[in-house]
Amino acid sequence: MRLHSERRNQATGSSRSCRLVSPPVICAGVGAGAAASILLMLWVQSVAASFPPGPTFPQGSSKASDSQRPRVALVLSGGGARGFSHVGILKAFEEEGIAFDLIVGTSMGAIVGSLFACGYSPAEIQRLVHSVDWVRLLGGTVSGSELVSARYGEARGLVSLRFRRFEPQASPGLLPAQRVYELLFSLTAEAEVAYGGCYDSLMVPLRIVASDLKTGQPVVFAGGHLAKCILASMAIPFLFPPVPWGDSLLVDGGLLDNTPVDVARAWGAEIVVAVDVSSIGEREVRFDDMIDVFRRTMDIWMTRTNQLHRETPGLLLRPYLEQRSPLDYAAADTIVALGYRYAKAMMDSVRALIPVRTNWQERREGFRQRLWKKMDLQMEPARFAGLERTHPSALRGEMTIQSGSSFDVQRVVRDLRSLYATGLFDQVMVRFQRLEPRRVRVIYEVRERQAFDVTLGGSYFNREGESGFLQFRHLNLFGYGGKGLFSLRLGPERDFVASEFHTRRFLGHPLAIQAAAFWERNRPAWYRAGRPVGRRSFDVAGAQLSLGVAPRKERAVSLGLTGTRVVRASQPELSLTRSSWNTRSGTLLLCSDTVDNPLWPSSGNLRMLRLERWFHRWGGTMEGSQLTWRLRGYAQTGRTVLGYSAQGLMTSGRLPEEFWGRAGSPDLFPGLERGELWTPCFFSCVAEAQFVENPILRWCFGIGVGWSAERVGRLFSSEAFVGARAGVRLLTPVGPVMVDLAYGEGGRWAYYLSVGYPF
């Protein structure tokens, strides 16, 4: 398409046509490639010639005002992590006072260029680049404080299918873009509100380029919701969902125009300096390394695209980045330094082309002062756009903005995160509505999730075998955010069927309700003197109702009542006879959870206390109590994640063995098989260190100690356990894969394997 368009334009003498759009929103992202994305990009390019050309730029307002000096434009290309070199180049330009009147950006170039245009210095952008955990940001990891209510009772499967009116719906992208949006919204919201979304009013006029999947034409943004425009410019197909805009679906601008020199020319720039970070030189490629082959393929594709479709700038800068791939986000500081050194080396050529100088620091200070004067605003209560099934009152508890409150971007971001954490929406964005000169209303634009889905999954543990589950969920019953679940789990040790309803906020209030009915058949291994002697067999059927409050999302308090019937099978080899009884119990649960990701942790703490009291058995005399507590914490220093885990169980009264605790795993007693130790009382503590090899691989080491006792009153004579473990954690598309080898008391070895689930 691009080659065909250039030939047509050469014949007519016109510039290649693009579409100018001036809409409203805010956020950001970073391009990272995938093989499927490249295939889609090449397909779009191969058929784009069949699409009609888009409308040309309107004249007048989009051009710079006439002046005696030539107008200068800086064009920043896309290139994933290689685009961090733009920061170093801007730093060198600012030190030399190199002046330019327009920034045009694609993908990563749009991110860096937008921050600079909003008044951030290159040094501030570099500090931001250094501080951001790009892997977690691009992966959309949700913090523990937003997941505490949804982390228990639901299985996370390897395969999840969504349905709309009984028709399966595929996910529009492998990675969510919400976290990226939130980051750049927090950075650019003030500039957008102050200047009404007009990019020509920023410190430097700005243009952002995206690609329209519907028309096959590039789209140029000259104003509107800045974060949404950036999100569209970096939305790699298949990796990130396309960004809807009216009737269009927008994706990464690098698909059609990775170095948009033509946009600068159409704006009226007479001097164009283009920075192309996609160019590569010759290098060795490992035949047996699929990732290395993919990275090289992406480099070649981006370079070839630029060669076919780039107009000739006045000066083309190609920083020496051959050894850095578009996925090398961990080397951000190094890439910034490479861009800075290259710009310094090329400064003579830049000075010769651009004779005009400016003091960027004074210019930035003046822009910030004007910005601060415009930020004396008051907010009105937020409204919602895009709600179809969800009742607005169900979201009332997530909002903290009150009428007359001062404009506060961080408060808007907190409410934004709260809305997304409900699990009801695939995307939440923000639009501002000016009501009068000093008043503004926040409008949350939401895209609701498909309410019904089916989840499949499975796991394998040594000496236990395979387990699997099938789960049906409705995520928004009655429009108030209630969840309905039906779960079926099958395995060698446990079969489980349950139907459950729970809601985190009842009618918009912080009241949590859970009601469930369940049946399970247990066949756990039974050990004597550390050796398995058979399997116990008993069935449990019952119902549960609990009420709780969650005054803060990372904290919850609940009270529950459970009624069960237990049937124990006759097993002469274990000296057990058939028996059955009914029980009822009350439960108090206190929980505080800020762990960022329970399967791939880096920071946060978990504190949980559970007290259960059994009443007199119907038709019998059983009474007792059980106290369970758990502590867990993580902290990351450099490339090392340090953590601890402590757990204890105390039982009093005359409870049957079916109600005892079952311990044994890398987190409790390294060296013991999972569920090997049946005991009414135990305590364990494990210290661990995880060494981050790369964003998807960790090496783990831990040592644990523990005690167990038959009765609480005999802790002094309890048996002690000491064990150590080593393993690996690998982040895969189906979830974290965890493999551990443990050595415990008596010289025993144990092996653990898990896919997508904690041990």
Q: Which string of DSSP letters, residue by residue, matches 662-723?
A: EE-STTTSTTSPTT-EEESEEEEEEEEEEEEEETTEEEEEEEEEEEEESSGGGGGGPEEEEE
pLDDT band, residue 272 (cuts 50/70/90): very high
Say which DSSP state 529 is in: T
Per-residue pLDDT for 50 more than 80? no
Tell which wins on pLDDT, 276 or 525.
Answer: 276
Q: Where are the beta strands (DSSP E) in 536-614?
A: 538-549, 555-568, 579-593, 604-614
pLDDT band, residue 738 (cuts 50/70/90): confident
pLDDT band, residue 205 (cuts 50/70/90): very high
φ/ψ of 308, rounded to 5, equals -80, -35
Tell which wins on pLDDT, 327 or 123.
Answer: 123
Is residue 41 within a helix (H) or strand (E), and if so which, with residue range? helix 35-47
Three-class DSSP category at 336: helix
**What mean pLDDT do residues 277-291 have?**
60
Cα 159 to its chain centre, rounded Å, is: 18
> CA-to-CA distance for 180 and 188, rounded, in angstroms?
12
Write the DSSP assignment of 269-331 as a string of letters. Answer: -SEEEEE-----------TT-HHHHHHHHHHHHHHHHHHHHPPPPSEEE----TT--TT-GGG
Per-residue pLDDT for 93 more than 60? yes
φ/ψ of 88, rounded to 5, equals -65, -35
> CA-to-CA distance for 248 and 19, rounded, in angstroms?
12
**What mean pLDDT do residues 60-83 have?**
73
pLDDT in tens, 218-244: 999 999 999 999 999 998 887 788 898
Q: If you count DSSP H runs as helices and E runs as strands, how many of each does the chain have, helices first?
A: 14, 35
- The average confidence (pLDDT) of the chain is 77
If you search the block for the tokens 């309700």, which residue do you land on?
513
Per-residue pLDDT for 21 more than 80? no
Per-residue pLDDT for 7 more than 50? no
If you search the block for the tokens 């028709």, which residue do you land on?
167
The radius of gyration computed from the CA coordinates of the chain, to the nearest angstrom, equals 30
CA angle 496, 497, 503 (to 5 degrees): 115
> CA-to-CA distance for 146 and 227, rounded, in angstroms?
23
Q: By CB neighbour count within 10 A (0-12 exposed, 13-18 middle, 19+ buried), where does 520 fall?
A: middle
Q: By CB neighbour count within 10 A (0-12 exposed, 13-18 middle, 19+ buried), where does 336 fall?
A: buried
pLDDT band, residue 755 (cuts 50/70/90): low
* Residue 442: CA count within 13 A, CB half-sphere: 33
**What mean pLDDT do residues 43-51 have?**
37
Residue 481's region, left for phi above 0, alpha for psi from -120 to 50, else beta, is left
The dihedral formed by the CA atoms of 92, 98, 99 and 100, expressed in degrees to the nearest 10: -60
Distance set, CA 664 to CA 601, 613, 674, 758 (Å): 21, 24, 4, 13
Per-residue pLDDT for 160 more than 80? no
**What mean pLDDT do residues 381-404 have?**
85
pLDDT at 6: 29
> CA-to-CA distance for 724 and 705, rounded, in angstroms?
9
pLDDT at 429: 93
Per-residue pLDDT for 636 more than 80? yes
pLDDT in tens, 589-632: 898 888 877 777 888 899 999 999 987 655 555 678 899 999 99
> CA-to-CA distance for 721 and 478, rounded, in angstroms?
51
Q: Where is average pLDDT lowest: 73-87, 276-290, 325-339?
A: 276-290
pLDDT band, residue 308 (cuts 50/70/90): low
**What mean pLDDT do residues 161-178 have?**
64
Beta carbons of 232 and 256 less than 8 angstroms apart: no
**What mean pLDDT do residues 377-395 have?**
87
> CA-to-CA distance for 80 and 77, rounded, in angstroms?
10
Helices 332-345 and 122-131: angle between axes, nearest 10 degrees: 150
Q: Which domains does the chain have, with CATH numbers?
A: 76-138+173-372 (3.40.1090.10), 376-448 (3.10.20.310), 452-756 (2.40.160.50)
Beta carbons of 735 and 756 less than 8 angstroms apart: yes
Q: By CB neighbour count within 10 A (0-12 exposed, 13-18 middle, 19+ buried), where does 733 fall?
A: exposed
Type of residue numbered 591: C
pLDDT band, residue 720 (cuts 50/70/90): confident
pLDDT in tens, 530-547: 567 778 888 999 999 988
pLDDT band, residue 729 (cuts 50/70/90): confident
Three-class DSSP category at 599: coil
Q: List the alpha helices (DSSP H) in 439-579.
A: none
φ/ψ of 47, rounded to 5, equals -110, -5
* Size (the chain), residues: 759
pLDDT at 133: 73
pLDDT at 690: 92
Closest CA to 325 of 694, 691, 41: 694
Single pTM value for the model: 0.72
> CA-to-CA distance for 434 and 722, rounded, in angstroms?
65
Tell which wins on pLDDT, 599 or 263.
Answer: 263
Say which DSSP state 148 is in: T
If you search the block for the tokens 């040094």, which residue do you land on?
123
pLDDT in tens, 208-217: 999 998 888 8
Beta carbons of 161 and 6 less than 8 angstroms apart: no
Per-residue pLDDT for 348 more than 70? yes
